[in-house]
A and B are shown apart, each in its own frame.
Chain A
Amino acid sequence: MRRITKISAVLSAGLFSLAATACTSDGGDTASEGENSDFKACMVSDSGGFDDKSFNETSLAGQDAAEEDLGIETATVESAGDSEYANNIAQLVEQGCDHITTVGFLLGDATLASAQENTDLSYAIVDFAYADDQGNNTAPDNLKGLTYATDQPAFLAGYLAAGMTESDKVGTLGGQNIPTVTIFMEGFRRGVDQYNQDNGTKVQVLGWNGKSGSFTDDFEDKTKAQAIGEQLIGQGADIIMPVAGPSGLGALQAAKDAGVKGIWVDSDGYESTEFGDILLTSVVKGMDVSVEQAITDSVNDEYDNEIYLGTLENEGVGLADYHDFEDQVPDELKDKIDELRQQIIDGELTTS
């Protein structure tokens, strides 16, 4: 299915740009011929591809922004399976890339191998860090892990959801029972707990109990998330937060069909999905920001292998605007969430 969509995308993109250029005859180059045009930043996706409306896509947005802002060259390669990673990275090395960003923990081994082999290049890997049992960074000097404390904004989202629910039931579902997914769900659950404590309510979280929950076991198949979403809604949830990449769009569809609300993750779903009108907010994982920052550091020869952790404090993660629900969220709830945000930043409140 995915292939077909992509093929038709290629075709329709061709036709569309044909029409577009017909209207605006004068395009003209932007800042692509900048002072850093001899620097090349490159990126390898995992098997989700760069059109996943999720972390591959957001990461690429960071590289695209760097291209724009710094006037560097870029290249990208999409992967179809695990056996392609090593060759795809090697291919980019061969293309003369100076900085290579890989997306996702699955590329961890291949990225490390390439970084050890090509010490004159810099590497960054999204959503992964090299650490030993004590949590010490084991990455080589030219490889930076980019990680995100998404539990922090997810906590706020949980608090918000608990404050907004009318059925006293909210739901979440994941793409797979892996840390980068469950960290959202756990933060969300704890936010709901916090609300219950503060207000003496009994809002329930469906789909995640701290250990196990509802998973699609698939990041691409929307029908699976839709089925689980319908199930959660059937059990009474009136706000659901899918953490399943593009698959999660199915859950938003289920929410829209049932007239309930949703919370998106990774990017601001108000802009990246077509379900903006039912989204209370989004738990934003600022992969674009950190990817661009890593590239900038590399361009400026300020590269280090310190693990990057995106937090509310450094705005590497955050809660998106309420958009259409701006007027419906009570002011005291908004204030409370702002207060909690500050508490988390000050370290007075732990979210995981």
Chain B
Amino acid sequence: MSSLRMTAGWWASAKVTLAAFAIALLIGAVLIAFSDEDVVETLPNLFTYPGDFFVAAADAIGSSYWAMLKGSLGSWHAIASTLERSAPLICAGLGVTFAFRAGLFNIGAQGQMTIAALIGGYVAFAWQLPAGLHLLCALVACLIGGALWGGVAGVLKAQAGAHEVITTIMLNYVAASVLLYALSKDAFQRPGSDNALSPQPLDTARFPSIGGVHLGVLLALLAAVLVWWVLDRSTLGFELRAVGANPNAARTAGMSTTVVYTVAMVIAGALAGLAAAMNVLGEGNALSPTLVGSIGFDAITVALLGRASPVGTVLAGLLFGAMSVGGVAMQASVGTPKELTAVIQALIVLFVAAPTFVKALMRFKDQGGGTTLLAKGWGA
């Protein structure tokens, strides 16, 4: 639809993102240097032997970032890990993006994933079905679980006007408690164990893998293409974007905001459900209270970094996946704390959210790329 505008704004916002990335890495480098024992040892003699300090700092920074790069992209195995780690981030991020385009700030990917994992996971470990069919059933169960949980927030918004930020946050808590409750019941626990841990998904319900990467990853990319098509090329996406940008004009033009809100949250939830499928059916994780980790929340960051566009979300998801995998390598090989990865990720988002600051820092000409989107989410 808006390809011309997209290309113009695209480069401006990509530039800001890249600059934000660079600044974040730079600050990260300073942190690495000053949390490294060898570097700190040189500090007392900084003025007598400044060379020692710079050699040690360069060594610490270089080896950390090198480990991160190598750990995330340096081998096929590393790339496979990155892809698998990125897949749920991309899917859940797409869910946030999709809702965002309808003007809804979906904080509930976490809860939607949780319920999806619960239902899909149950189908995956408890049902006995032939391969293929089992996978299909488990996948559909994941999608339904997510859609259901997202839909609750959508219906509450559409019918009762309840603000989706509040309801999705609350539903996250409810979902976490539902999971915990289920895991205290025998039906969800491993036979002979009282631990809050379910049996592992059966192999018949797992995504097949090729070369160490499960095929769910492909599904995630396919989902991104589909989301792009729906948003940009379909009547539904047209309605969705119109309602998101100006609900009054949309209503005047005969669109139903209640339908759009509900549908948007159902689809957003289903996408989060797909993210849960990556965890359960892709990686084969059993249900546990910490199954989802923080993916549902990281998804918000991914969507914002991706500027609520499907392509951007995929790229941001890959970046975060790579940093997460690379962060582990950095920690394992050089001992750099993994919090550093979190710091760098947070800084990137911070700088992307403050483009004026980055532009000033990098002396970009102000072309106003992508500021409004991030600022608008709340209050809508």
B81 within 8 A of partner (CB):
yes
In the complex, A47 Cα to B288 Cα: how many Å?
12
Q: Bits for A94-113, please: 1 = Cβ < 8 Å to B, else 0.
A: 11000000000110110000
Q: Which of B14-22, B195-203, B302-310 contacts A (4 or more CB under 8 A)?
A: B195-203
A109–B177 CA distance with the chains assembled, in angstroms: 23
Instruction: Write the chain A residue with the least CB distance to B292.
Output: A81
A 21-78 contacts with B by CB, 8 A: 21-22, 25, 27, 42, 46-47, 75-78
Task: List the one stretch of A7-15, A145-153, A237-245, A295-303 in contact with chain B.
Answer: A7-15
A179 touches B292 (CB 8 A): no
Cα separation A76 to B83 with both chains bound (whole Å)? 23
Q: Which of B288, B331, B332 gathers the greatest number of chain A CB atoms within 10 Å?
A: B332
Q: Which of B38-46, B128-136, B226-234, B253-261 contacts A (4 or more CB under 8 A)?
A: B38-46
Most chain B CB within 10 A, of A14, A78, A109, A177, is at: A14
Stretch at the interface among B311-319, B333-341, B371-379: B333-341
Q: Are A83 and B283 touching (Cβ within 8 A)?
A: yes
Known: A3-B339, A80-B294. A14 touches B35 (CB 8 A): yes
Return the chain A residue nearest B67 by Cβ.
A95
Indicate if A329 sits at the interface (CB-CB under 8 A): no
How long is the Cα–Cα vector from A88 to B324 in the complex, in angstroms? 10
Partner of A83, one of B71, B191, B195, B285: B285
Q: Which of A10, A81, A90, A106 has the most CB of B within 10 A?
A: A81
B-side contacts of A180, CB under 8 Å:
195
Q: CA–CA, A3 to B293, complex, Å?
A: 13
| A10 near B35: Cβ-Cβ < 8 Å | yes
Contact with A along B272-298 (1 / 0, CB 8 A): 000000010001011011111111000
A86 and B80 alpha carbons, distance in the complex (Å): 13
| B293 x A82 contact (CB < 8 A) | yes
Which of A11, A14, A78, A86 contacts B40, CB < 8 Å? A14
Inside 8 A of B88's CB, which chain A residues have their CB?
A: 83
Residue B54 at the chain A interface, CB threshold 8 Å: no
List residues 336-354 of chain B with CB under 8 A from any CB of chain A.
337-340, 342-343, 346
A178 to B188, CA, bound (A): 13
Q: Which chain B residue has the least Cβ–Cβ distance from A47?
A: B290
Query: Are A6 and B196 in contact, CB atoms less than 8 angstroms apart?
Result: no
A352 to B362, CA, bound (A): 66
Q: What's the least CB distance linking B205 to chain A, in Å?
A: 15
Task: Give the shortest distance, in Å, between A261 (CB) and chain B (any CB).
Answer: 30
Contact flag A83-B85 (CB < 8 Å), given A14-B34, A22-B44: yes
CB neighbours (8 Å) of B35 from chain A are 10-11, 13-14
Q: Which residue of A lies closest to B192 (CB)?
A: A133
Decide: A82 and B43 in contact? CB cutoff 8 A.
Answer: no
Contacts of A109 in B (CB 8 A): 200, 285-286
B195 contacts which of A15, A80, A105, A217 (Cβ < 8 Å)?
A105
> How far, in whole Å, are A47 and B290 apart by their CA atoms in the complex?
8
B294's contact among A14, A81, A108, by CB below 8 Å, is which? Answer: A81
Taking CB atoms, residues of chain A closer than 8 Å to B85 are 83-84, 87
The answer to whether the Cβ of A328 comes within 8 Å of any Cβ in the partner chain is no
**Bound complex: CA A91 to CA B68 (Å):** 12
- Which residues of A lie under 8 Å from residue B177 when comparing CB positions? 217
Task: Indicate which residue in A10, A13, A42, A82 contacts B332 across the interface (CB closer than 8 Å).
Answer: A42
Q: How far is the CB of A189 from chain B (nearest CB, A)?
A: 17
Using known A-B contacts A3-B339, A109-B200, determine if residue A82 contacts B41 with beta carbons closer than 8 Å.
no
- Cβ-defined contact, A82 with B44, below 8 A: no
The answer to whether the Cβ of A18 comes within 8 Å of any Cβ in the partner chain is yes
Interface residues of B in 158-202 (CB under 8 A from A): 177, 180, 184, 191-197, 200
Contact yes or no, B337 A6, CB < 8 A: yes
Q: A47-B290, A179-B195, A217-B177 are in contact. Are A77 and B328 (CB under 8 A)?
A: yes
Known A-B contacts A22-B43, A83-B285; the reply to A75 vs B332 at CB < 8 A is yes
Binary interface encoding of chain B residues 76-119 relative to chain A, with 1 for a CB under 8 A from any of its CBs, else 0? 01000100110010000000000000000000000000000000
A314 proximal to B (CB < 8 A):
no
Q: Mark A139-165, 1 if CB is under 8 A from B, else 0.
A: 000000000000000000000000000
- B31: chain A residues within 8 A (beta carbon): 10-11, 14
Contact, CB under 8 Å: A10 / B339: yes
Which residues of the partner chain A approach B337 to less than 8 Å between Cβ atoms? Answer: 6, 10
A172 CA to B41 CA in the complex, in Å?
46
B294 and A7 form a contact (CB under 8 A): no
What separation, in Å, do the CA atoms of A3 and B191 have in the docked complex? Answer: 36
CA distance A75 to B201 in the complex (A): 31
CA distance A83 to B37 in the complex (A): 31
Tell me the residues in window 113-153 of chain A with beta carbons closer than 8 Å to chain B beta carbons. Answer: 132-133
Bound CA–CA A62/B328 (angstroms): 21
Q: Are B293 and A95 in contact (CB under 8 A)?
A: no
Q: Which residues of A contact B292 (CB under 8 A)?
A: 81-82
Alpha-carbon distance A10/B119, docked complex (angstroms): 39
Q: How far is the CB of A212 from chain B (nearest CB, A)?
A: 10
Contacts of A83 in B (CB 8 A): 85, 88, 279, 283, 285, 291, 293, 295
- A87 contact set on B, CB distance < 8 A: 81, 84-85, 325, 328
- Shortest B315–chain A CB gap in Å is 21
In the complex, whether A223 has a CB less than 8 A from a CB of chain B is no
Q: In the docked arrangement, what's the CA distance between A14 and B38, Å?
A: 11
The contact of B180 among A27, A90, A217, by CB within 8 Å, is: A217
| B293 and A84 within 8 A (CB) | yes
| Cβ contact within 8 Å between B328 and A81 | no
| Residue A176 interfacial (CB < 8 Å) | yes
B263 in contact (CB, < 8 A): no
Q: Which residues of A contact B335 (CB under 8 A)?
A: 75-76
B71 touches A91 (CB 8 A): yes
Say if the beta carbon of B329 comes within 8 Å of chain A.
Answer: yes
**Does the CB pair A21–B328 fall under 8 Å?**
no
In the complex, the answer to whether B44 meets A47 with C-beta atoms within 8 Å is no
Question: Given A83-B293, A94-B77, do A3 and B342 touch, yes or no (CB 8 Å)?
Answer: yes
Closest 3 CB pairs of A and B: A81-B293, A14-B34, A6-B339
With contacts A9-B339, A82-B286 known, what are 5 further pairs, Cβ within 8 A? A82-B285, A91-B325, A105-B195, A109-B200, A179-B194
- 16 sampled A-B residue pairs with Cβ under 8 A: A6-B339, A13-B35, A14-B34, A18-B40, A21-B40, A75-B331, A80-B338, A82-B292, A84-B293, A88-B332, A91-B81, A106-B197, A132-B192, A176-B289, A177-B184, A217-B289
Binding site for A on B (CB under 8 A): 31, 34-35, 37, 40-41, 43-44, 71, 77, 81, 84-85, 88, 177, 180, 184, 191-197, 200, 279, 283, 285-286, 288-295, 324-325, 328-329, 331-333, 335, 337-340, 342-343, 346
